[in-house]
Amino acid sequence: MIGGLFIYNHKGEVLISRVYRDDIGRNAVDAFRVNVIHARQQVRSPVTNIARTSFFHVKRSNIWLAAVTKQNVNAAMVFEFLYKMCDVMTAYFGKISEENIKNNFVLIYELLDEILDFGYPQNSETGALKTFITQQGIKGQVSKTKEQSQITSQVTGQIGWRREGIKYRRNELFLDVLESVNLLMSPQGQVLSAHVSGRVVMKSYLSGMPECKFGMNDKIVIDKQGKGGASDDAGKSGKQSIAIDDCTFHQCVRLSKFDSERSISFIPPDGEYELMRYRTTKDIILPFRVIPLVREVGRTKLEVKVVIKSNFKPSLLAQKIEVRIPTPLNTSGVQVICMKGKAKYKASENAIVWKIKRMAGMKESQISAEIELLPTNDKKKWARPPISMNFEVPFAPSGLKVRYLKVFESKLNYSDHDVIKWVRYIGRSGIYETRC
Amino acid sequence: MPYLGGEETVRELRRALSNPNVQSDQLRYRNTILKVIRAMSQGVDMSGLFSEMVKACATVDVVQKKLVYVFLCSYAALNPELSLLVINTLRKDCQDPNPMVRSLALRNMTNLRLPSLVEYVEQPLAAGLRDRAACVRRVAVLGWAKLHNLQASSEIDAAVVNELYSLLRDPDPVVMVNCLRALEEILKDEGGVAINKPITHHLLNRLKECDIWGQCQVLRVLQRYRPQSEDELFDILSLLDASLVSPHPPIMAATLSLFLSLCSGQPAVSLAALERVRGPLLAACGSGSREMRFTALCHIQLLLRSIPGLMGAHYKRFFCGYAEPAYIKQRKMQVLVELVNDENVAMLLDELKGYCTDVNAETAQAAITAIGRIGRSYSDRCLEILTGLLGLKQDHITSAVVQTMRDLVWVCPQCSDTVCFALEGCEETLQDSQGRQALLWLLGVYGERVSSAPYTLEVFIDGVRSEASLGVKMELLTATMRLFLCRPAETQDMLGRLLHYCIEEETDMCVRDQALLYYRLLHCGIEETRKVLQGRRSDPSLGVLIGRPAEPVSQWARSFNTLEPLRQGSIETDGALNRLKQ
C-alpha cells in the first residue's frame, strides 16, 4: 500500500517524512521535489510517475502532502486518505500552514503512527483517535481499568461513533443546511447547467443514546402522504417539495428504514458531524440573475454594463456579494460608475471587482464601466472569460426545508420538548458563471 | 539543507542528552529529543546519537518513548548491536498493564527491521495475537506481516498462519481487516488468502462494521472468489447493492470492480451494474476536490468504452469551467467526444470552439484535436469551425488545426476539397515543426488541387539550409517528389536544387540517403517512381466515431480501480494514425 508519506512547504523543504515500506528510499523525497514542486510547467496531473514509483499529491494553501507507493493501488482510496489526514490535522490544530505543522510536530508524528501502520490506513475517526493521542500533558501513565474498558468498547463496540454515558445539562442541537449552488449560463440567458450540492451538518449536545428522526420536504414522502388523502395536492399551494437526485448519509443512519419508508432515523455522534450529502438539479432557485451587455466602440474602447437582479423574498438579505467582470489584457484604464457598493479595477487580476455588502430580495443593481484599451496590432481576439459571482444567502437554493427533527431518549428523563433546536440555512455560490 | 551546522548540532545535542540535569527534568529531556527529531526530518544525519537515544528509551513518559522510537526505527539498520539494548526495554513494555504502551512497544519492535532481532521478537508477537485489548491485537497481526517482509526467505510457522486465519473471526473489525492484509502479504507466493465460501460469507456479513479502508480491502480481496451457484451470486450482489451507491468514491469503485469480476460470465448483469453507478460517478465528478474529480473522470472514460450512451443525457456536466486545471479540462474534452450524437452535436461543437482559444496552449490544442475527432462523423460542421480558427492567425492554433486536418483527411477523403481551399496562406503563421510537417504532407498528397503549392514549397526549399528539424526535411523531400509527379513543369527546377543540396551538402545521413534513393528512382523512370511514392491516401475504415462496436466489459474490467486509467494520457488511435502515414 502506501510506502511513504511526506509533507513539504512551498519552497520544497521537507517538514515531515515517514517511510513505511522498504522499497521507498530517501531519494524519493528529492525526486518529488525536483519533478513536481520545482517543475517549470504547471502541475500536469495529481498522480506523477517517476521510475515506477507513483506520487499522489494534494496541496493545501502552500503545503504539499505527498503519498508514495510502488504498488498498483486504488487511486480514489489514496486521495480519500490524504483528505482524511488533512481533516484530522485541521481538527487538531486548525489551518494547515507551515507554522502550525512546525509547532505540532510531535502530534503529527503520533498521528502518522496511529493512522497508518505498515502503509495500511487504520483507525481514522477523530473521536476514537483522541484516546490514543497524548498531545500535551502527561497522559497515559497509569490508566484505571475503567478507561481501559472504555478504549476497548469504543474500539470494538457496535456503535463506534458514540460512547456511552454522555451527559449535558442543557440538551441542544444545531442544524446547518449548507448548500453550494453552481451555475453556467449562456450569453443569451439560457441556463446551460445548474446544480446544487448540499450537506446537512449537525452539532448535537444530547445526553445518553438518543434516537433521532429527521424530516424534510422530500418529494417522494410528500407524494406518498398526498396519495393517502383524497384529491390532488396541487390545490394546496405553498407546500413546495424538492426532488433530490441522490443523497448519501453518515454511517449512523439506518439505510434500511430509508429504503422502505424514506425516513431518516439515527443515533447521532456527539459533537459536529455531517449528517447527509445530497445533490439536486431540478427546480433550483437561482438567487441572482446577471445580465451583461458588452459593446465594442472601435478598437480602443469597450463599454460594459452589468445588471444583477436578486430573485428571492424581499424580507431576506444576501451578503458578501462580489461580482468579477474580466477585462482584456491590454487595458490601459477603466472608469466605473455604480450606485450601490464599491467597484475597483484590479490590474493584477485583469478584472473589475464589484463588492456589495448586502442586498435585499427582488432588487436590481447596475454597474457600468468604460474600458480603454491600448492599441495593439495583435490580431488576437479576446476570448471573453465569463462573469463570476460570489454571494451568501440565508436560504437553501434547492428549496430544501427542514420539517422536523424529533429526539427520543427512553432511559433518561428528557423528552423531545426539552431539547433546544436551532436551524439555519446558508446558501453559498460555488461556480456561478455567466458567459458574455 | 542545513549541512553546514550538522556537526555542531550533533555535538551540542549529545552534550545535552548526556547531561544528568537534563535527564532528571522530564520536560527538558523531552524538548531535547524533539530537537533531535526535527533535525532528523530536515535531513541532518543524527546517527551518532544512537547510544544516547537508547538510554532515553527507558522512561515512563509515553510521548518521549514515541519520539525515541521514531529515531530508533530510522537508524536501527546502521547499529544492529546497540539496538539489542533496546530490546530489553521493549520486551518489558510488552507486558505493561496499559494497552497503549503494549501496542506501542509491539509496533516498534517490528518496525526496527533488523534480522538479528527476529528471534527476540517472535515470542511477544505470538502473545500479542491473544492479547485482551483489541489495539494490541491489531498491531500484532500486522507485525507478523512486517516480519515476513523482512525475511522473505524464511517460512512463517504454519501455526501462526492458522492463528491468523482464526483471527478473521475476531470481534474487532480492524483486527479482521489487518488479518486479511497480513495473510495477503505472507501467502503472496501461494496467491494470497484462500478465499472459500465460509470466509467470503463471514466477510460480507461484517462488511458494514468496517470503516472505509477496511471495506476497500475486503472488497479487493473478494475479487478472487467465484460463487458456486447463480443463487449465491445474486445473494452476494444484493448484499453489496448499498455499497455500490456509497457516498465514498473509493468504496463505490471497489464494489463495482468486484461486481464486474463476479459477473464476468454474465454481461447483462455487468451492464446493469454500470447503469447503477452512473449517479455516484457523476457526483464524484462534481466533487469539491480536483484530484477526486480527475480520478472519477478517468474511470468514466473506461466505462464509456462499453456503454457509450451511459452519460449521454448528462453531457452538460462535462463542460469545463474557466478556472479548472488543464489536466481536468483535457480529460473532460476526451469524454465529451465520446458523448456526441445527432442532437447535441451543435451545442458540443459550440462549447469546444470556445475552448480552442484557451490561454493554455495545450488545452487549446486538445480542444482542436477533439473537434477533429468529432469531424470524422460530422465533417462539414467541424471543418467550418476549423477553417474559422485558421483565420485567427495564431501559431499554436494554426499548427494544431493543420495537424488535425491532416488526420481528418486521412480518414475522410471527402473533406479534401475544403481542406485544400483552407490551406492557402497558412504557412506564414506556422512556427513549430509538427505543424510544418503536417502542412508539407498535405501539400504533397493534394498538391494538384492547391494552386499555390509549388510556391509554398519553394519558400521551404530556399530555407532548407537553416532548417533544424529532421522530420521537416524528410517530409519536404517526399512532398516535393510527389508534387513533381503531378506538376512537373513548375517543380522540376526546385526539385533539382533540393536534391543537389541534400546529396552534396546535407550532413544528416537519413536525409541524404532518402534523397539518394529518390534520385536513383528517378533514373529508373517515371512509372517506377509513381508506383513507389503514390501509395494510399486515406483509410476510411479507421475510426468512425459513432457506430463503433461497444467493447465487452471484460476487456477493461481488470484495470478498473487501479492506477491504469490515470496513466493513459492521450487517445490510442492517434498513435496508430501516425505510424501508417510514413
User: Using CB atoms, which residue from B138, B296, B567 is nearest to A122?
Assistant: B138
Rounded-to-integer distance, Cα A398 and Cα A276, Å = 15
Rounded-to-integer distance, Cα B362 and Cα A42, Å = 11
Are A433 and B245 inside 8 Å of each other by CB? Answer: no
**Chain B residues touching A198 at Cβ < 8 A:** none
DSSP string, A10-78: TT--EEEEEE-STT--HHHHHHHIIIIIT-SSPP--SEEEETTEEEEEEEETTEEEEEEESS---HHHH
Q: How far is CA A5 from the centre of its chain?
A: 25
- A224 has binding-site annotation: no
**Of B72, B78, B36, B34, residue with least CA distance to B55:** B72
Beta carbons within 10 angstroms of residue B176's beta carbon: 23
Three cell numbers, residue A40: 517549470
**Chain B residues touching A38 at Cβ < 8 A:** none
Are B392 and A383 inside 8 Å of each other by CB? Answer: no
Long-range own/partner contacts, residues B497-503 (CB < 8 A, 24 or more apart): B497/B461, B498/B461, B498/B464, B501/B464, B501/B465, B502/B464, B502/B473, B502/B477
Rounded-to-integer distance, Cα B463 and Cα B469, Å = 12
Beta carbons within 10 angstroms of residue B199's beta carbon: 18
**Chain A residues touching B242 at Cβ < 8 A:** 255
Rounded-to-integer distance, Cα A99 and Cα A106, Å = 13
- Tell me if chain A has a CB within 8 Å of the CB of B97: yes
Are A155 and B249 inside 8 Å of each other by CB? Answer: no
Q: Which B positions 413-472 lie with beta carbon below 8 A of chain A?
A: none
Q: Which A positions 34-93 lie with beta carbon below 8 A of chain B?
A: 42-47, 49, 54, 56, 58, 72-77, 79-83
**Chain A residues touching B73 at Cβ < 8 A:** none
Rounded-to-integer distance, Cα B458 and Cα B308, Å = 47
- A355 has binding-site annotation: yes
Are A49 and B567 inside 8 Å of each other by CB? Answer: yes
Q: Which A positions 396-425 lie with beta carbon below 8 A of chain B?
A: none
Residue B2: what pLDDT? 45
Are A118 and B292 inside 8 Å of each other by CB? Answer: no
- B241 within 8 A of B207, measured Cβ to Cβ: no
Query: In one letter, which amino acid is B58?
Result: A
Are B393 and A379 inside 8 Å of each other by CB? Answer: yes
pLDDT digits (tens, 9 = 90+) for A191-229: 888 888 888 999 988 888 888 888 888 777 667 666 543
User: Using CB atoms, which residue from B134, B250, B317 is nearest to A156?
Assistant: B134
Q: How far is CA A256 from the centre of its chain?
A: 27
Rounded-to-integer distance, Cα B120 and Cα B123, Å = 7
**Regions of chain B short of the pLDDT cut 50:** 1-3, 569-582
pLDDT digits (tens, 9 = 90+) for A115-133: 888 888 887 776 667 766 6
- Tell me if chain A has a CB within 8 Å of the CB of B358: yes
**A402 backbone dihedrals φ, ψ, rounded to 5°:** -80, 120
- A95 has binding-site annotation: no
**B152 backbone dihedrals φ, ψ, rounded to 5°:** -65, -25
Nearest-by-CA chain B residue for A1: B181
Selected for mutation to probe chain A from B110, B213, B570 (highest A CB count within 10 Å) is B213
Q: Mean pLDDT over residues A241-250, rounded?
A: 78
3-state helix, strand, coil split of chain B in percent (to 5) is 75, 0, 25
Rounded-to-integer distance, Cα A223 and Cα A402, Å = 17
Tell whether the model's pLDDT for residue A146 goes beyond 70: no
Residue B573: what pLDDT? 37
- A346 has binding-site annotation: yes
User: Using CB atoms, which residue from A44, A120, A246 is nearest to B213?
Assistant: A120
- Tell me if chain A has a CB within 8 Å of the CB of B572: no
pLDDT digits (tens, 9 = 90+) for A148-187: 334 444 444 456 677 777 888 888 899 999 999 989 988 8
Residue B553: what pLDDT? 66
- Tell me if chain A has a CB within 8 Å of the CB of B563: yes
Select the more confidently predicted residue: B266 or A230. B266
Three cell numbers, residue B562: 487501479
User: Using CB atoms, which residue from A76, A141, A151 is nearest to B99?
Assistant: A151
Tell whether the model's pLDDT for residue A4 goes beyond 80: yes
- Tell me if chain B has a CB within 8 Å of the CB of A94: no
Q: Mean pLDDT over residues A283-302, rounded?
A: 88
Rounded-to-integer distance, Cα B353 and Cα B547, Å = 24
Half-sphere exposure of B158 (CA within 13 A, CB side): 0
Size of interface A-B (CB pairs under 8 A): 200
- B483: closest CA of chain A, how far (Å): 33
Mean pLDDT of chain A: 80
- Contacts of B440 by beta carbon, 8 Å cutoff, 6+ apart: B457, B460, B472, B475, B476, B478, B479
Nearest-by-CA chain B residue for A133: B63
ipTM of the modeled complex: 0.75
Residue B578: what pLDDT? 45
Rounded-to-integer distance, Cα A85 and Cα A363, Å = 44
- Tell me if chain A has a CB within 8 Å of the CB of B223: no
Nearest-by-CA chain A residue for B257: A74
DSSP string, A192-234: EEEEEEEEEEEEEE-SS--EEEEEE-BHHHHHHHHHHSSS-ST
pLDDT digits (tens, 9 = 90+) for A39-68: 766 666 788 888 788 888 888 888 888 998
Partnered with residue A324 across adjacent β-strands are: A353, A388
**Chain A residues touching B292 at Cβ < 8 A:** 76, 79-80
Counting Cβ atoms within 10 Å, is residue B118 exposed (0-12), middle (13-18) or buried (19+)?
Answer: middle
Maximum CA pair distance of chain A? 84
Half-sphere exposure of B204 (CA within 13 A, CB side): 24
* Strand-strand pairing, A14-19 and A120-121: unpaired
Tell whether the model's pLDDT for residue A366 goes beyond 90: yes
- A45: closest CA of chain B, how far (Å): 6
Residue A368: what pLDDT? 93
Tell whether the model's pLDDT for residue A237 goes beyond 60: no
- Give, to the nearest 10 degrees, the angle between helix B99-111 and helix B118-128: 140
Tell whether the model's pLDDT for residue A142 goes beyond 50: no
- Tell me if chain B has a CB within 8 Å of the CB of A146: no
Dihedral over Cα of B4, B7, B8, B9: its sign: positive
- Tell me if chain A has a CB within 8 Å of the CB of B291: yes
Are B138 and A54 inside 8 Å of each other by CB? Answer: no
**Chain B residues touching A282 at Cβ < 8 A:** none
Nearest-by-CA chain B residue for A431: B321
Are A117 and B322 inside 8 Å of each other by CB? Answer: no
Are B26 and A138 inside 8 Å of each other by CB? Answer: yes
Three cell numbers, residue B8: 555542531
Are A125 and B211 inside 8 Å of each other by CB? Answer: yes
**Chain A residues touching B207 at Cβ < 8 A:** none
- Contacts of B144 by beta carbon, 8 Å cutoff, 6+ apart: B125, B129, B156, B160, B164, B182, B186
Residue A234: what pLDDT? 38
Rounded-to-integer distance, Cα B436 and Cα B406, Å = 11
Are B292 and A42 inside 8 Å of each other by CB? Answer: no
- With cell 555535538, the residue in question is B11
Q: Which A positions 158-217 lie with beta carbon below 8 A of chain B?
A: 158, 160, 182, 184, 192-193, 195, 197
- A342 has binding-site annotation: yes
Nearest-by-CA chain A residue for B107: A117
